[in-house]
Amino acid sequence: MKGFKLQKAQLLCFVLMGVLISILTGCGGGGGGVWMVPAAEKIRPTVTSTAPVLGAADVSLNARVITANFSEKMNPATITGTTYTVKQGATVVSGAVTYTGVSAVFTAFGDLLPGLTYTATITTAAKDLAGNALAADYTWTFSTGAAADIILPLITSTVNANGATGVAFNTKVGATFSEPMDPSTINTTTFSLKRGATDVPGTLDYTGVNLVFTPTSLLAAGTVYTATVTTGARDLAGNALAANYVWSWTTGAAADITRPRVIATINSNGAIDVPTNTKVGATFSEPMDPLTITTATFTLSNGTTYTNVPGTMLYSGVDMVFTPSSPLAPNTTYIATITTGAKDLAGNELGGNKAPLPLASDFGWFWTTAAAPDTTNPTVILTAPLNGAINVPTGSTINATFSEAMDPLTITNATFSVAGVPGLVTYDGVNKIATLTPSSPLAAGTTYTATVTTGARDLAGNPLLLNKVWSFTTAAVVIPPPVVPLGSVAPFGTFGGSAGMTNQGTLTIINGDIGTIATATSTVTGFHDTEGDIFTQTGSNIGGVNGTIYTCTVSTTGPNSTVVNAPYCAIATQARLDAETAFNFLAGMPSSGVLAGNLAGTTIYPGVYTNSSAVMIEGGDLTLDAQGDANALFVFQIGSTLTVGGPGAAFPQSITLINGAQAKNVFWQVGTFATINAGGGGTMVGTIIAQSGVSFSTAGNVALVTLNGRALSLVSSVTMVNTIINVPAP
């Protein structure tokens, strides 16, 4: 945010607002707020990231390509051997300078020399397309090691996932690499998107470790698309992919209009004693457009001097990481801000963090540094499977839990692998767990060896001291993993069966879609969506839906008011069918334990638990312990009612997730009705699929109830008062 300064009183207000919104959103990383930013008369470009990064050590001798990525497209005529130079001491390194996408590329004519420090500089003569120059010369240093880089680059994730269905037809397409690539090798020669045998036209951009392809026009609905990255794509040392990388997916019938959210932050909102050498970052609810995650859309400000902290930005998967150019000041409050200029791959702005929608909002959080840097090396404290484990199900994922929060950009296929097993590596910053999900089930009766290398680093840049290596043996027979078939109802925060949904609070936010197959008018009451439609407002009671409202017959006011919407009704009808399929699947899972009548004060481990009667959580919180397995499944089969929280405000209850337990893997199959926190307050976790309806809190209660999951009713309505529902990320 350019030109944005906080006075002391404003800072205090901001801090209090951050705490309040943290409570409202239920996000692990803190809250967002809305504040006005003066329009800049001249927006200067910035260098958002470099490769090698500032201060990098042991850089490969054959890493001849040295790149700098800008916050916007530059005038290529200003990126030359005069404005971009690399030196070793006072000696100019011979090389060629080119410009592609948003990257300045210096290619040395020969290998770098071992054990030396190099300095790269881009001067203020470098200008953007509007003629705006860098505010100051940008300089960074790195030092070489003693060896060449012979490790082949990998593709660690793709947009969209291989085999995905129902993909929004307004999406962009992308791939994330395990290391920075030579931007000049990422182009429409090495990347293609096809519909059958026909090339899809579009533009391609590359920044950091991300390739992004933007189709010229919307993709066709209900169509299979295939993307390919060829071995012409090379890393900074000239190493190519081992083979062409190919993935396919199928588009659905709808566009993506759901705004992305910040679901976790580095560091947490209001944290104290944060190391001065920390990195800063955030995790989003969905993949973002990397070209919008830059130092132009993110700022870190010193709350004492009111100045912005310089640094570089990298983005990968769903994680952004900002590295300050120098250690932060000790015992100082810092304020981080992500603006609404951050967009997802469908072009939706950051939002969903504060009611009322559809207004988007900047997202802010703050913390205070400690007196010293972090010099402690991280360790792996838990693995799943355990070292030496036998009879491991062939459908298992492989997990490593760290002793502290890690830099998510260092947790990749290059640093976490299982010998002979291709797969996708992800990192959960909240639980500090890395997960490798194999591309196909493990072989039966086989011993596997997993390794986390010293390339994995914490947020202060400290590496593991030693590689972590462990082994396990799979069961003699193939055991496929249980996958609950949510189908098309997965994006829904609530579904009101054939009776609709009612909101009776002003603080309600549904971060996801809502729907019903009810045919009477006014069956959706007290909501408005991202398209500006208000659904039957009663008094001041109106909540926001950060997504789409799917109904068969509606009564609305707004720009898209309609009486009958056949396409939306078809989507709602299919979602209702898929919810019932999931309900029956959950009910049919073989039980592994008996579920007590009151779960308060207990700890439950992964499994399927059954109670043919009523279940409550009242008088104490429930803890779900995944024992280090980030894909651990918790299923609760309940014959009649589920009640969470007592009848008065003194009895709000919560569910705590530990050791890798995730909301997306918790399911409540309820035979009749679910009542959640009737007294108000507390946090519920998991997908609730109830036969006869779900209710949250009671009329007139201003205490927020948060559900990190879904509330789906097959027949009756879903009602809520000041309720926040966060649909879990996939």
Q: Where are the domains of the chain?
A: 47-143, 155-250, 258-369, 380-474, 487-726
In whole angstroms, give the CA distance from residue 188 to residue 229. Answer: 9
pLDDT at 506: 81
Q: What is the mean pLDDT of residues 225-253?
A: 95
| Confidence band for 665, pLDDT divided at 50, 70 and 90 | very high
pLDDT at 633: 95
Q: How would you classify residue 59: left for phi > 0, otherwise alpha for psi between -120 and 50, otherwise beta?
A: beta
pLDDT at 650: 53
Q: Is the pLDDT of residue 530 over 70?
A: no
pLDDT at 397: 94
| Confidence band for 531, pLDDT divided at 50, 70 and 90 | low
Identify the architecture of domain 380-474 in CATH.
Sandwich (2.60)
Q: For the domain with range 47-143, which CATH number is right: 3.40.50.170, 3.40.50.11060, 2.60.40.1220, 3.40.220.10?
A: 2.60.40.1220
In whole angstroms, give the CA distance from residue 159 to residue 438. Answer: 18
Q: Is the pLDDT of residue 587 over 70?
A: yes
| 288-310 tens-digit pLDDT | 999 899 888 999 999 988 899 99
46-51-52 Cα angle (round to 5): 125
| Confidence band for 568, pLDDT divided at 50, 70 and 90 | confident
- Considering 469-473, 558-562, 570-574, the range whose residues carry the highest mean pLDDT is 469-473
Whether 428 and 657 have beta carbons less than 8 Å apart is answered as no
| 243-277 tens-digit pLDDT | 999 999 999 888 888 888 898 899 999 999 999 99
In whole angstroms, give the CA distance from residue 497 to residue 494. Answer: 9
Overall fold of domain 258-369: Immunoglobulin-like (2.60.40)
Q: Is the pLDDT of residue 23 over 60?
A: no
Q: Is the pLDDT of residue 37 over 80?
A: no
pLDDT at 533: 54
pLDDT at 593: 92
pTM of the model: 0.81
In whole angstroms, give the CA distance from residue 226 to residue 534. Answer: 39
Q: What is the mean pLDDT of residues 673-692?
A: 88
Whether 501 and 718 have beta carbons less than 8 Å apart is answered as yes
Q: Is the pLDDT of residue 630 over 80?
A: yes
pLDDT at 19: 36
pLDDT at 361: 73
Q: 217-231, 560-574, 616-630: which has the minimum mean pLDDT?
A: 560-574
pLDDT at 55: 85
pLDDT at 316: 86
pLDDT at 255: 86
Q: 33-37, 98-102, 254-258: which has the minimum mean pLDDT?
A: 33-37
Q: What is the mean pLDDT of residues 688-693?
A: 96
- Contacts (Cβ under 8 Å, ≥6 apart) of 27: 261, 262, 263, 264, 265, 353, 726
pLDDT at 2: 31
pLDDT at 619: 84
Q: Is the pLDDT of residue 162 over 60?
A: yes
pLDDT at 702: 66
Element (H, E) at 470: strand 468-474
**CATH class of the domain defined by 155-250:** mainly beta
In whole angstroms, give the CA distance from residue 600 to residue 727. Answer: 24
Query: For residue 239, is the peptide bond before it cis, meaning its omega torsion is within 30 degrees of 0?
Result: no
| 346-370 tens-digit pLDDT | 988 887 544 433 345 788 999 999 9
Own/partner pairs, 433-439, CB within 8 angstroms, 24+ separation: 433/399, 433/400, 433/401, 433/402, 433/628, 433/630, 433/660, 434/399, 434/400, 434/402, 434/406, 435/397, 435/398, 435/399, 435/630, 435/631, 436/397, 436/398, 436/399, 437/397, 437/631, 438/397, 438/398
In whole angstroms, give the CA distance from residue 176 to residue 212. Answer: 9
Backbone angles phi, psi at 571, to 5 degrees: -65, -40
Domains 155-250 and 380-474 belong to one CATH topology = yes
- Contacts (Cβ under 8 Å, ≥6 apart) of 500: 516, 518, 520, 522, 523, 524, 525, 551, 717
- Mean pLDDT over the full length of the chain: 86
Burial class (CB in 10 A: 0-12, 13-18, 19+), 566: exposed
